[in-house]
Structure 1
Amino acid sequence: MGLTLCCWLRDGHLKKHQRSTSAFCPLSVTPPIRLAVLLDTPPVAPGNPRSQWSPTHLSPNLQVCPSGGRVRRGRVEQSSDAVRGAVGAVTGLHIWEVLWEEQQRGSHALLGVSTHKCPLQVSGYTALIGGTSCSWGWELSTNQLWHDGKRKRRYPRGGATDVLSVPDRILVVLDADAGTLGYVVDNCYLGVAFQDLPKGAELFPAVSCVWGGAEICIRYLCGTTRDAPALQALSRLSVRRALGSDRSRTLALPPALQRLLLDTAEEVQQDL
Protein backbone atom coordinates (compact mmCIF):
# COMPACT_ATOMS: atom_id res chain seq x y z
CA MET A 1 0.00 0.00 0.00
CA GLY A 2 2.78 2.44 0.94
CA LEU A 3 4.71 1.69 -2.27
CA THR A 4 1.58 2.21 -4.36
CA LEU A 5 0.97 5.58 -2.76
CA CYS A 6 4.60 6.62 -3.26
CA CYS A 7 4.38 5.77 -6.97
CA TRP A 8 1.03 7.54 -7.32
CA LEU A 9 2.40 10.68 -5.70
CA ARG A 10 5.68 10.53 -7.60
CA ASP A 11 3.97 10.34 -10.97
CA GLY A 12 2.81 13.92 -10.93
CA HIS A 13 0.00 14.14 -8.41
CA LEU A 14 2.09 16.25 -6.04
CA LYS A 15 2.04 19.23 -8.34
CA LYS A 16 -1.69 19.86 -8.19
CA HIS A 17 -2.28 23.36 -6.82
CA GLN A 18 -5.42 25.27 -6.27
CA ARG A 19 -6.03 27.75 -9.07
CA SER A 20 -3.75 30.70 -8.43
CA THR A 21 -2.69 33.87 -10.20
CA SER A 22 0.72 33.88 -8.54
CA ALA A 23 3.63 34.46 -10.91
CA PHE A 24 5.54 31.77 -9.01
CA CYS A 25 3.17 28.89 -9.78
CA PRO A 26 4.36 28.33 -13.38
CA LEU A 27 7.90 28.14 -11.99
CA SER A 28 7.15 25.56 -9.32
CA VAL A 29 8.58 22.06 -9.39
CA THR A 30 7.28 18.79 -8.00
CA PRO A 31 8.62 18.39 -4.46
CA PRO A 32 10.20 15.12 -3.36
CA ILE A 33 7.79 12.82 -1.54
CA ARG A 34 9.32 13.50 1.89
CA LEU A 35 8.91 17.22 1.36
CA ALA A 36 5.40 16.90 -0.04
CA VAL A 37 4.32 14.99 3.06
CA LEU A 38 6.02 17.51 5.31
CA LEU A 39 4.36 20.46 3.57
CA ASP A 40 1.02 18.76 4.19
CA THR A 41 1.79 18.09 7.86
CA PRO A 42 0.17 20.28 10.53
CA PRO A 43 2.72 22.63 12.12
CA VAL A 44 4.24 21.91 15.50
CA ALA A 45 2.83 23.74 18.49
CA PRO A 46 3.95 27.34 19.04
CA GLY A 47 6.82 27.75 21.47
CA ASN A 48 9.14 25.27 19.80
CA PRO A 49 12.77 26.36 20.44
CA ARG A 50 13.37 26.41 16.69
CA SER A 51 10.68 29.10 16.40
CA GLN A 52 12.97 31.71 17.91
CA TRP A 53 15.70 34.06 16.80
CA SER A 54 18.87 33.81 18.81
CA PRO A 55 19.04 36.51 21.52
CA THR A 56 22.85 36.45 21.44
CA HIS A 57 23.87 35.69 17.86
CA LEU A 58 22.74 38.87 16.15
CA SER A 59 23.91 42.31 15.16
CA PRO A 60 23.92 44.94 17.92
CA ASN A 61 21.53 46.90 15.70
CA LEU A 62 18.88 44.18 16.02
CA GLN A 63 16.64 43.41 18.98
CA VAL A 64 14.71 40.20 19.57
CA CYS A 65 11.30 40.44 21.21
CA PRO A 66 10.73 38.63 24.55
CA SER A 67 8.99 35.66 22.88
CA GLY A 68 11.93 35.22 20.52
CA GLY A 69 9.77 34.95 17.42
CA ARG A 70 10.30 38.47 16.09
CA VAL A 71 13.39 40.60 15.51
CA ARG A 72 13.44 44.34 14.85
CA ARG A 73 16.17 46.43 13.27
CA GLY A 74 16.97 49.84 14.69
CA ARG A 75 16.93 52.96 12.53
CA VAL A 76 20.65 53.12 11.85
CA GLU A 77 22.47 53.99 8.64
CA GLN A 78 25.34 52.45 6.73
CA SER A 79 25.09 49.04 8.37
CA SER A 80 24.10 45.56 7.25
CA ASP A 81 22.71 43.47 10.09
CA ALA A 82 21.97 39.77 10.49
CA VAL A 83 20.47 37.34 12.96
CA ARG A 84 20.31 33.58 12.97
CA GLY A 85 17.87 31.16 14.52
CA ALA A 86 18.31 30.03 18.10
CA VAL A 87 18.44 26.37 17.08
CA GLY A 88 19.70 24.95 13.81
CA ALA A 89 19.75 21.50 12.26
CA VAL A 90 22.50 18.97 11.61
CA THR A 91 20.34 16.23 10.12
CA GLY A 92 16.80 15.87 8.81
CA LEU A 93 14.44 17.85 6.60
CA HIS A 94 13.10 21.07 8.14
CA ILE A 95 10.72 23.90 7.23
CA TRP A 96 10.65 27.38 8.73
CA GLU A 97 8.10 30.08 8.01
CA VAL A 98 9.43 33.63 7.76
CA LEU A 99 7.11 36.66 7.71
CA TRP A 100 8.79 39.77 6.35
CA GLU A 101 6.65 42.55 4.91
CA GLU A 102 7.70 43.51 1.43
CA GLN A 103 7.48 47.20 2.34
CA GLN A 104 10.09 46.66 5.08
CA ARG A 105 12.84 45.14 2.96
CA GLY A 106 14.46 47.70 0.73
CA SER A 107 17.75 46.61 -0.80
CA HIS A 108 19.94 43.76 0.45
CA ALA A 109 17.12 41.81 2.09
CA LEU A 110 18.43 38.25 2.29
CA LEU A 111 16.92 35.06 3.63
CA GLY A 112 18.75 31.76 3.92
CA VAL A 113 20.89 29.69 6.26
CA SER A 114 24.27 30.06 7.91
CA THR A 115 26.73 28.26 10.14
CA HIS A 116 27.73 29.67 13.51
CA LYS A 117 30.77 31.32 11.85
CA CYS A 118 28.77 33.73 9.71
CA PRO A 119 29.46 37.43 10.48
CA LEU A 120 26.39 39.25 11.76
CA GLN A 121 27.24 42.92 11.15
CA VAL A 122 29.34 44.88 8.67
CA SER A 123 29.57 48.56 7.75
CA GLY A 124 27.81 49.70 4.62
CA TYR A 125 25.07 48.02 2.66
CA THR A 126 25.85 44.54 1.39
CA ALA A 127 24.54 41.00 1.00
CA LEU A 128 25.54 39.80 4.46
CA ILE A 129 23.82 36.41 4.39
CA GLY A 130 25.61 34.88 1.44
CA GLY A 131 28.52 37.25 1.84
CA THR A 132 30.94 34.55 3.02
CA SER A 133 31.51 30.83 2.58
CA CYS A 134 29.56 30.27 5.82
CA SER A 135 26.15 31.40 4.57
CA TRP A 136 23.73 31.02 1.66
CA GLY A 137 21.07 33.61 0.92
CA TRP A 138 18.29 34.59 -1.47
CA GLU A 139 18.09 38.34 -2.06
CA LEU A 140 14.36 39.00 -2.06
CA SER A 141 14.60 42.41 -3.71
CA THR A 142 16.46 41.12 -6.79
CA ASN A 143 15.72 37.35 -6.76
CA GLN A 144 19.49 36.71 -6.82
CA LEU A 145 21.20 33.92 -4.93
CA TRP A 146 24.35 34.76 -2.94
CA HIS A 147 27.13 32.60 -1.53
CA ASP A 148 30.79 33.20 -0.68
CA GLY A 149 30.40 36.88 -1.47
CA LYS A 150 29.39 36.16 -5.06
CA ARG A 151 26.14 36.75 -6.88
CA LYS A 152 24.92 33.45 -8.30
CA ARG A 153 22.01 32.76 -10.64
CA ARG A 154 18.55 34.20 -10.32
CA TYR A 155 16.03 32.09 -8.44
CA PRO A 156 13.72 30.41 -9.28
CA ARG A 157 14.95 28.96 -12.56
CA GLY A 158 13.02 29.88 -15.65
CA GLY A 159 11.85 33.17 -14.21
CA ALA A 160 11.03 36.17 -16.34
CA THR A 161 13.57 38.88 -17.00
CA ASP A 162 11.70 41.15 -14.62
CA VAL A 163 12.18 40.72 -10.89
CA LEU A 164 9.32 38.84 -9.25
CA SER A 165 7.72 40.39 -6.19
CA VAL A 166 8.21 37.99 -3.28
CA PRO A 167 5.24 38.04 -0.88
CA ASP A 168 5.41 38.57 2.86
CA ARG A 169 5.31 34.86 3.72
CA ILE A 170 8.16 32.58 2.65
CA LEU A 171 9.01 29.03 3.67
CA VAL A 172 12.66 28.00 4.04
CA VAL A 173 13.26 24.32 3.24
CA LEU A 174 16.52 22.88 4.56
CA ASP A 175 17.44 19.27 3.83
CA ALA A 176 20.49 18.81 6.01
CA ASP A 177 20.84 15.17 4.93
CA ALA A 178 21.00 16.03 1.23
CA GLY A 179 22.78 19.33 1.78
CA THR A 180 20.19 21.43 -0.07
CA LEU A 181 18.24 24.63 0.52
CA GLY A 182 15.04 25.70 -1.23
CA TYR A 183 12.03 27.95 -0.77
CA VAL A 184 8.24 27.81 -0.99
CA VAL A 185 6.35 30.91 -2.13
CA ASP A 186 2.58 31.16 -2.61
CA ASN A 187 2.33 27.43 -1.77
CA CYS A 188 4.67 26.66 -4.69
CA TYR A 189 7.92 24.79 -4.14
CA LEU A 190 10.51 26.56 -6.28
CA GLY A 191 13.11 23.81 -6.27
CA VAL A 192 16.66 23.61 -4.95
CA ALA A 193 18.34 26.99 -4.66
CA PHE A 194 21.62 25.75 -3.17
CA GLN A 195 23.22 22.35 -2.96
CA ASP A 196 26.42 20.93 -1.48
CA LEU A 197 25.78 22.56 1.88
CA PRO A 198 28.21 21.18 4.49
CA LYS A 199 26.94 17.94 5.98
CA GLY A 200 27.49 17.45 9.68
CA ALA A 201 27.53 21.19 10.36
CA GLU A 202 24.71 22.86 12.26
CA LEU A 203 22.86 25.15 9.86
CA PHE A 204 20.62 27.94 11.12
CA PRO A 205 17.88 29.93 9.39
CA ALA A 206 19.20 33.46 8.99
CA VAL A 207 18.29 36.88 7.60
CA SER A 208 20.17 40.09 6.93
CA CYS A 209 18.68 43.51 6.27
CA VAL A 210 19.40 47.23 6.01
CA TRP A 211 15.88 48.66 6.39
CA GLY A 212 15.39 50.75 9.51
CA GLY A 213 12.47 49.53 11.59
CA ALA A 214 12.10 46.23 9.72
CA GLU A 215 10.42 43.45 11.71
CA ILE A 216 10.95 39.82 10.74
CA CYS A 217 9.10 36.89 12.32
CA ILE A 218 10.10 33.25 12.32
CA ARG A 219 8.22 30.06 13.12
CA TYR A 220 9.36 26.47 12.84
CA LEU A 221 6.65 24.50 11.07
CA CYS A 222 7.83 20.90 11.07
CA GLY A 223 10.65 18.49 10.37
CA THR A 224 11.38 14.84 9.73
CA THR A 225 14.22 12.36 9.66
CA ARG A 226 15.63 10.70 6.54
CA ASP A 227 13.33 7.71 7.12
CA ALA A 228 10.58 7.04 4.60
CA PRO A 229 7.27 8.80 5.36
CA ALA A 230 4.80 6.89 7.49
CA LEU A 231 1.89 5.17 5.74
CA GLN A 232 -0.56 7.36 7.69
CA ALA A 233 1.12 10.52 6.37
CA LEU A 234 1.11 9.22 2.79
CA SER A 235 -2.54 8.24 3.07
CA ARG A 236 -3.47 11.64 4.50
CA LEU A 237 -1.68 13.42 1.67
CA SER A 238 -3.27 11.30 -1.08
CA VAL A 239 -6.79 11.72 0.33
CA ARG A 240 -6.38 15.48 0.78
CA ARG A 241 -5.06 15.79 -2.78
CA ALA A 242 -8.03 13.84 -4.09
CA LEU A 243 -10.50 16.00 -2.15
CA GLY A 244 -8.86 19.23 -3.28
CA SER A 245 -10.46 22.32 -1.79
CA ASP A 246 -13.79 20.54 -1.23
CA ARG A 247 -13.11 19.20 2.24
CA SER A 248 -16.81 19.18 3.12
CA ARG A 249 -16.96 15.55 1.96
CA THR A 250 -14.97 14.59 5.06
CA LEU A 251 -18.05 15.32 7.18
CA ALA A 252 -19.31 11.81 6.51
CA LEU A 253 -16.21 10.32 8.12
CA PRO A 254 -15.66 9.54 11.81
CA PRO A 255 -14.51 12.57 13.85
CA ALA A 256 -10.97 11.22 14.29
CA LEU A 257 -10.51 10.96 10.52
CA GLN A 258 -12.03 14.39 10.01
CA ARG A 259 -9.48 15.88 12.38
CA LEU A 260 -6.68 14.06 10.59
CA LEU A 261 -7.72 15.34 7.16
CA LEU A 262 -8.60 18.93 8.03
CA ASP A 263 -6.11 21.73 8.58
CA THR A 264 -6.50 21.84 12.35
CA ALA A 265 -3.05 21.29 13.77
CA GLU A 266 -3.98 21.37 17.45
CA GLU A 267 -6.82 18.85 17.05
CA VAL A 268 -4.65 16.48 15.06
CA GLN A 269 -1.95 16.54 17.72
CA GLN A 270 -4.46 15.94 20.50
CA ASP A 271 -6.04 13.04 18.61
CA LEU A 272 -2.68 11.41 17.94
Structure 2
Amino acid sequence: MLPLIAEKPISLANPSGKEPVYPDKLTRILQNGAPSLEVQLKHAWNPNDCPKDLTVKTDDPLTFHRNPIAQSTHGIRGKQGYSSGFHVWQIDWPVNQRGTTAMIGVATKEADLHMGRYRSLIGKDENSYGWDMVRNFCHHDSNHYETWKYPNDFNDWLAPSKIYCLLDMDEGTLSFAADSEYLGVAFKGLQGKTLYPIVGCVWGHCEVTMTYQGSVYEENQKGRDTEDEDSDGGFEKLKEELRHLKTNE
Protein backbone atom coordinates (compact mmCIF):
# COMPACT_ATOMS: atom_id res chain seq x y z
CA MET A 1 0.00 0.00 0.00
CA LEU A 2 1.26 3.44 -0.92
CA PRO A 3 1.77 5.83 2.01
CA LEU A 4 -0.92 8.45 2.48
CA ILE A 5 0.08 11.98 1.47
CA ALA A 6 -0.88 14.45 4.16
CA GLU A 7 -3.04 17.32 2.96
CA LYS A 8 -1.65 20.80 3.35
CA PRO A 9 -3.28 22.93 6.07
CA ILE A 10 -5.58 25.84 5.25
CA SER A 11 -3.78 29.17 5.00
CA LEU A 12 -4.60 31.89 7.53
CA ALA A 13 -4.83 34.24 4.54
CA ASN A 14 -7.83 32.29 3.19
CA PRO A 15 -11.01 34.36 3.78
CA SER A 16 -13.08 31.12 3.66
CA GLY A 17 -15.93 32.19 1.44
CA LYS A 18 -16.69 35.55 3.03
CA GLU A 19 -19.75 37.06 1.34
CA PRO A 20 -18.76 39.89 -1.07
CA VAL A 21 -19.84 43.37 0.05
CA TYR A 22 -19.07 46.17 -2.42
CA PRO A 23 -16.71 48.66 -0.67
CA ASP A 24 -17.94 52.24 -0.44
CA LYS A 25 -14.31 53.38 -0.61
CA LEU A 26 -13.99 51.93 -4.11
CA THR A 27 -16.98 53.98 -5.25
CA ARG A 28 -15.44 57.14 -3.79
CA ILE A 29 -12.12 56.56 -5.54
CA LEU A 30 -13.63 55.77 -8.94
CA GLN A 31 -15.94 58.79 -8.73
CA ASN A 32 -12.91 61.02 -8.20
CA GLY A 33 -11.43 59.97 -11.54
CA ALA A 34 -7.86 58.92 -12.22
CA PRO A 35 -5.04 60.87 -10.51
CA SER A 36 -2.61 63.08 -12.40
CA LEU A 37 0.19 61.62 -14.50
CA GLU A 38 2.67 62.68 -11.82
CA VAL A 39 0.87 60.52 -9.26
CA GLN A 40 0.44 57.68 -11.76
CA LEU A 41 4.19 57.58 -12.39
CA LYS A 42 4.93 57.63 -8.66
CA HIS A 43 2.91 54.42 -8.29
CA ALA A 44 3.97 52.78 -11.57
CA TRP A 45 6.08 49.65 -12.21
CA ASN A 46 9.59 49.88 -10.82
CA PRO A 47 12.12 49.44 -13.67
CA ASN A 48 14.79 48.68 -11.05
CA ASP A 49 12.80 45.96 -9.29
CA CYS A 50 12.40 43.27 -11.94
CA PRO A 51 14.52 40.69 -13.82
CA LYS A 52 16.49 41.84 -16.86
CA ASP A 53 14.03 40.12 -19.19
CA LEU A 54 11.27 42.54 -18.14
CA THR A 55 11.51 46.18 -19.22
CA VAL A 56 9.31 49.16 -18.45
CA LYS A 57 8.47 50.85 -21.76
CA THR A 58 10.10 54.24 -22.27
CA ASP A 59 7.19 55.50 -24.38
CA ASP A 60 4.61 54.24 -21.87
CA PRO A 61 6.08 54.06 -18.34
CA LEU A 62 2.87 52.57 -16.94
CA THR A 63 3.45 49.39 -19.00
CA PHE A 64 6.11 46.69 -18.95
CA HIS A 65 7.14 44.26 -21.71
CA ARG A 66 8.37 40.70 -21.17
CA ASN A 67 10.93 39.24 -23.54
CA PRO A 68 10.12 35.68 -24.72
CA ILE A 69 12.33 33.55 -22.47
CA ALA A 70 11.39 29.84 -22.53
CA GLN A 71 10.78 27.86 -19.34
CA SER A 72 10.97 30.90 -17.10
CA THR A 73 8.59 32.91 -14.92
CA HIS A 74 9.15 36.60 -14.19
CA GLY A 75 7.73 39.15 -11.77
CA ILE A 76 7.85 42.90 -11.26
CA ARG A 77 6.95 45.10 -8.29
CA GLY A 78 5.47 48.57 -8.21
CA LYS A 79 7.46 51.53 -6.92
CA GLN A 80 5.29 52.18 -3.87
CA GLY A 81 4.71 49.95 -0.86
CA TYR A 82 1.62 50.42 1.32
CA SER A 83 1.30 49.80 5.06
CA SER A 84 -1.91 51.73 5.78
CA GLY A 85 -4.92 53.10 3.95
CA PHE A 86 -7.17 51.77 1.18
CA HIS A 87 -5.50 51.71 -2.25
CA VAL A 88 -6.83 50.86 -5.69
CA TRP A 89 -4.95 50.23 -8.92
CA GLN A 90 -6.09 48.75 -12.20
CA ILE A 91 -4.23 45.99 -14.04
CA ASP A 92 -4.76 45.86 -17.82
CA TRP A 93 -3.59 42.44 -19.01
CA PRO A 94 -4.91 41.27 -22.41
CA VAL A 95 -6.57 37.86 -22.12
CA ASN A 96 -4.61 36.52 -25.10
CA GLN A 97 -1.27 37.37 -23.43
CA ARG A 98 -1.58 35.27 -20.27
CA GLY A 99 -0.44 31.75 -21.16
CA THR A 100 -0.58 28.93 -18.61
CA THR A 101 -0.36 31.21 -15.57
CA ALA A 102 -0.93 34.94 -15.03
CA MET A 103 -0.75 36.17 -11.46
CA ILE A 104 -1.58 39.50 -9.84
CA GLY A 105 -1.34 40.47 -6.18
CA VAL A 106 0.93 42.04 -3.59
CA ALA A 107 4.30 41.21 -2.09
CA THR A 108 6.95 42.33 0.34
CA LYS A 109 10.38 43.48 -0.80
CA GLU A 110 11.69 39.99 0.00
CA ALA A 111 9.51 38.17 -2.55
CA ASP A 112 11.30 36.43 -5.43
CA LEU A 113 10.88 37.87 -8.92
CA HIS A 114 12.15 34.95 -11.01
CA MET A 115 11.74 31.18 -11.16
CA GLY A 116 12.74 28.47 -13.60
CA ARG A 117 9.96 26.78 -15.59
CA TYR A 118 6.39 28.05 -15.86
CA ARG A 119 5.32 28.30 -12.22
CA SER A 120 2.94 30.07 -9.86
CA LEU A 121 5.49 32.65 -8.72
CA ILE A 122 3.32 35.00 -6.67
CA GLY A 123 2.25 33.38 -3.42
CA LYS A 124 4.71 30.50 -3.46
CA ASP A 125 6.02 31.51 -0.02
CA GLU A 126 5.12 33.77 2.90
CA ASN A 127 6.36 36.92 1.13
CA SER A 128 3.59 37.29 -1.45
CA TYR A 129 -0.13 36.89 -2.12
CA GLY A 130 -1.20 36.06 -5.66
CA TRP A 131 -4.33 35.29 -7.67
CA ASP A 132 -3.80 33.15 -10.78
CA MET A 133 -6.32 34.58 -13.25
CA VAL A 134 -5.91 31.60 -15.60
CA ARG A 135 -6.65 28.82 -13.11
CA ASN A 136 -8.76 30.94 -10.71
CA PHE A 137 -6.82 29.99 -7.58
CA CYS A 138 -5.29 32.09 -4.79
CA HIS A 139 -1.81 31.35 -3.47
CA HIS A 140 -0.07 32.33 -0.24
CA ASP A 141 2.85 30.26 1.00
CA SER A 142 1.55 27.50 -1.28
CA ASN A 143 4.69 25.47 -0.64
CA HIS A 144 3.17 24.76 2.78
CA TYR A 145 -0.55 25.66 2.56
CA GLU A 146 -3.48 24.78 0.33
CA THR A 147 -4.48 27.10 -2.49
CA TRP A 148 -8.15 28.11 -2.72
CA LYS A 149 -10.69 28.80 -5.45
CA TYR A 150 -11.37 32.43 -6.35
CA PRO A 151 -13.79 33.96 -7.19
CA ASN A 152 -15.99 31.71 -5.05
CA ASP A 153 -18.18 29.23 -6.96
CA PHE A 154 -17.05 30.47 -10.40
CA ASN A 155 -15.37 27.39 -11.85
CA ASP A 156 -15.14 28.69 -15.41
CA TRP A 157 -15.01 32.44 -14.71
CA LEU A 158 -12.73 34.32 -17.13
CA ALA A 159 -11.07 37.44 -15.77
CA PRO A 160 -11.48 40.33 -18.23
CA SER A 161 -8.55 42.37 -19.50
CA LYS A 162 -9.00 45.04 -16.83
CA ILE A 163 -9.12 44.14 -13.14
CA TYR A 164 -9.17 46.45 -10.12
CA CYS A 165 -6.93 45.51 -7.18
CA LEU A 166 -8.23 46.73 -3.81
CA LEU A 167 -5.67 46.72 -1.00
CA ASP A 168 -7.11 47.65 2.40
CA MET A 169 -4.18 47.77 4.82
CA ASP A 170 -6.42 48.97 7.66
CA GLU A 171 -8.65 45.89 7.39
CA GLY A 172 -5.76 43.74 6.18
CA THR A 173 -7.43 42.48 3.00
CA LEU A 174 -6.80 42.24 -0.74
CA SER A 175 -9.83 42.10 -3.04
CA PHE A 176 -10.45 42.30 -6.76
CA ALA A 177 -13.19 43.77 -8.94
CA ALA A 178 -14.15 44.01 -12.59
CA ASP A 179 -15.94 47.03 -14.03
CA SER A 180 -19.40 45.66 -13.21
CA GLU A 181 -18.65 43.10 -10.51
CA TYR A 182 -17.00 43.07 -7.09
CA LEU A 183 -15.35 39.67 -6.67
CA GLY A 184 -14.91 39.73 -2.91
CA VAL A 185 -12.00 39.36 -0.51
CA ALA A 186 -9.22 37.13 -1.84
CA PHE A 187 -6.76 37.43 1.07
CA LYS A 188 -6.96 38.49 4.72
CA GLY A 189 -4.48 39.02 7.56
CA LEU A 190 -2.24 41.52 5.76
CA GLN A 191 -1.89 44.05 8.59
CA GLY A 192 1.56 44.93 9.84
CA LYS A 193 3.29 44.54 6.49
CA THR A 194 4.44 46.88 3.73
CA LEU A 195 3.11 45.45 0.48
CA TYR A 196 3.80 46.32 -3.16
CA PRO A 197 1.74 45.62 -6.28
CA ILE A 198 3.22 42.65 -8.15
CA VAL A 199 2.52 40.41 -11.13
CA GLY A 200 4.00 37.12 -12.31
CA CYS A 201 4.01 36.28 -16.02
CA VAL A 202 5.16 33.62 -18.50
CA TRP A 203 3.80 34.74 -21.89
CA GLY A 204 6.43 35.91 -24.38
CA HIS A 205 5.99 39.57 -25.41
CA CYS A 206 3.16 40.12 -22.93
CA GLU A 207 2.55 43.74 -21.94
CA VAL A 208 0.81 44.65 -18.69
CA THR A 209 -0.28 48.14 -17.66
CA MET A 210 -0.87 49.36 -14.10
CA THR A 211 -2.81 52.58 -13.47
CA TYR A 212 -3.11 53.80 -9.89
CA GLN A 213 -6.65 54.95 -9.09
CA GLY A 214 -6.21 56.58 -5.69
CA SER A 215 -6.40 55.99 -1.95
CA VAL A 216 -8.57 56.63 1.10
CA TYR A 217 -7.16 57.02 4.60
CA GLU A 218 -8.90 56.91 7.97
CA GLU A 219 -9.42 60.19 9.81
CA ASN A 220 -6.43 59.66 12.11
CA GLN A 221 -4.19 59.07 9.10
CA LYS A 222 -4.96 62.27 7.21
CA GLY A 223 -1.92 64.10 5.96
CA ARG A 224 0.16 60.96 5.52
CA ASP A 225 -0.83 60.62 1.88
CA THR A 226 -3.17 62.57 -0.38
CA GLU A 227 -3.11 60.75 -3.72
CA ASP A 228 -6.85 60.12 -3.54
CA GLU A 229 -7.47 63.86 -3.64
CA ASP A 230 -5.09 64.50 -6.56
CA SER A 231 -7.67 63.82 -9.25
CA ASP A 232 -7.58 65.52 -12.66
CA GLY A 233 -10.84 64.27 -14.10
CA GLY A 234 -10.20 60.74 -15.29
CA PHE A 235 -8.51 58.56 -17.86
CA GLU A 236 -8.99 60.85 -20.86
CA LYS A 237 -6.78 63.48 -19.25
CA LEU A 238 -4.20 60.82 -18.36
CA LYS A 239 -4.15 59.54 -21.95
CA GLU A 240 -3.64 63.09 -23.22
CA GLU A 241 -0.70 63.60 -20.84
CA LEU A 242 0.86 60.32 -21.97
CA ARG A 243 0.52 61.39 -25.61
CA HIS A 244 2.20 64.68 -24.72
CA LEU A 245 5.00 62.78 -22.96
CA LYS A 246 5.63 60.63 -26.05
CA THR A 247 5.62 63.67 -28.36
CA ASN A 248 8.27 65.47 -26.32
CA GLU A 249 10.71 62.57 -25.93
Alignment TM-score, normalising by the size of structure 1: 0.70
With CA pairs under 8 Å and 6+ residues apart, which has the higher RCO, 1 or 2? 2
Q: Confirm or deny that 1:214 pairs with 2:209.
A: no
Q: Which has the larger radius of gyration?
A: 1
What CA RMSD, in Å, does the superposition of the two structures yield over aligned residues? Answer: 2.5
The corresponding residue for 1:246 is none
Question: By how many angstroms is 1:165 displaced?
Answer: 1.1
Task: Give the whole-Å Cα distance in 1 for the aligned partners of 2:24 and 2:162.
Answer: 23
Q: Confirm or deny that 1:131 pairs with 2:129.
A: no
Letter in 2 for 1:60: K
The corresponding residue for 2:162 is 169
Question: By how many angstroms is 1:84 displaced?
Answer: 0.6
Of 66, 76, 79, the residue aligned with 2:69 is 76
Contact 1:54 1:68 in 2 (8 A): no
1:1-272 alignment, distance < 5 Å: 29-48=20-39, 49-66=41-58, 67-149=60-142, 150-159=145-154, 161=155, 163-199=156-192, 201-227=193-219, 264-265=233-234
Contact 1:50 1:85 in 2 (8 A): no
Task: Give the whole-Å Cα distance in 2 for the aligned partners of 1:114 and 1:130.
Answer: 8
Task: Give the whole-Å Cα distance in 2 for the aligned partners of 1:57 and 1:44.
Answer: 23
Q: List, as ranges, runs of 4+ consecutive aligned residues in structure 1 with deviation greater than 6 Å.
A: none
Question: How many equivalent pairs are there?
Answer: 206
Contact 2:83 2:191 in 1 (8 A): no
Task: Give the whole-Å Cα distance in 2 for the aligned partners of 1:203 and 1:266.
Answer: 25
Change in CA separation of 1:43 and 1:124 when aligned onto 2, cut-off 3 Å: same
Unpaired segments of 5 or more residues in structure 1?
1-27, 229-259
Greater helix proportion:
1
Contact 1:113 1:204 in 2 (8 A): yes
3-state secondary structure, aligned to 2:28:
helix
Alignment TM-score, normalising by the size of structure 2: 0.76
Task: Give the whole-Å Cα distance in 2 for the aligned partners of 1:52 and 1:93.
Answer: 17
Task: Give the whole-Å Cα distance in 1 for the aligned partners of 2:194 and 2:61.
Answer: 20
Task: Give the whole-Å Cα distance in 1 for the aligned partners of 2:158 and 2:24.
Answer: 28
Task: Give the whole-Å Cα distance in 1 for the aligned partners of 2:236 and 2:139.
Answer: 40
Question: By how many angstroms is 1:157 displaced?
Answer: 1.5
Letter in 2 for 1:219: T
Task: Give the whole-Å Cα distance in 2 for the aligned partners of 1:207 and 1:120.
Answer: 9
Question: By how many angstroms is 1:105 displaced?
Answer: 0.2
Change in CA separation of 1:32 and 1:120 when aligned onto 2, cut-off 3 Å: same
Change in CA separation of 1:214 and 1:33 when aligned onto 2, cut-off 3 Å: same
Task: Give the whole-Å Cα distance in 2 for the aligned partners of 1:80 and 1:267.
Answer: 34
Task: Give the whole-Å Cα distance in 2 for the aligned partners of 1:100 and 1:90.
Answer: 26
Contact 1:136 1:194 in 2 (8 A): yes
Letter in 2 for 1:99: D
